[in-house]
Amino acid sequence: MYSIGQLAKKANVSNRTLRYYEELGLIVPKSRGSNRYRYYDESHMQRLGTIKMLQDSGFALKEIVAAIAPIFDPGSQITYTGQEISGKIFEALENQRALLLERQKEIAKTLEELSTMMCGLKKCFGCQISRSLEGCADCKSGPQEVRKIAQEVREFNATTASTGAGGHMMNEKA
């Protein structure tokens, strides 16, 4: 059994969130101690996981209450049939899955780009041509990304050298 504070910490939510969920009928403490403390069990952790997953899938808390509170509290007014609930959840999960697959593609592309850059940087190990990043701008064998960054550094340094601290052109007579 968990106290409200223990459950909140384990589920990574605040005590206030748990009390609010209780007000909404999303969770009900397993028992109350003689000290009137709320006590929860592992099923409440699962329940909070379900709520979080539904929120992450695009359900508003009001929709979650309407969909799952009647399942656990037979006295609640049922606003959806089981088929409607499962259909809405399935659709939301399908959308979440599509978003995750798209993100997975983006991550795979980024990993591929990093691998390519790392392979190109291996050519820079032991470089005798340049002793500074700025000098890499002229390198013909280094990776294009490094040459581009080096060029940007060179341009920045040139701009900084010709301007004062305030960004204004310095007086050349000084």
Domains of the chain by range and CATH?
2-100 (1.10.1660.10), 128-162 (no CATH)
- For the purposes of burial, counting CB atoms within 10 Å of the CB of 54, is it exposed (0-12), middle (13-18) or buried (19 or more)? buried
Q: How large is the average pLDDT for residues 119-125?
A: 75
The whole-number pLDDT of residue 149 equals 81
In total, the chain counts a number of residues equal to 174
SS (H, E, C) the chain: CEEHHHHHHHHCCCHHHHHHHHHHCCCCCCEECCCCCEEECHHHHHHHHHHHHHHHCCCCHHHHHHHHHHHHCCCCCCCCCHHHHHHHHHHHHHHHHHHHHHHHHHHHHHHHHHHHHHHHHHCCCCCCCCCCHHHHHHCCCCCHHHHHHHHHHHHHHHHHHHECCCCCECCCCC
The whole-number pLDDT of residue 148 equals 82
Longest dimension (CA), the chain: 88
Tokens of 62: 């009001």
pTM as predicted: 0.47
Residues 41-89 have pLDDT tens digits of 888 998 898 888 888 877 888 888 877 765 555 555 445 555 666 777 7
Residue 112 pLDDT grade (very low, low, confident, very high; cuts 50, 70, 90):
very high
The whole-number pLDDT of residue 6 equals 93
Structure-model confidence comparison of residues 27 and 132, the more confident one? 27
Number of Cβ within a 10 Å radius of residue 125: 6
Least confident range of 3-17, 111-125, 160-174: 160-174
Residue 91 pLDDT grade (very low, low, confident, very high; cuts 50, 70, 90):
confident
The whole-number pLDDT of residue 101 equals 95
The whole-number pLDDT of residue 107 equals 96
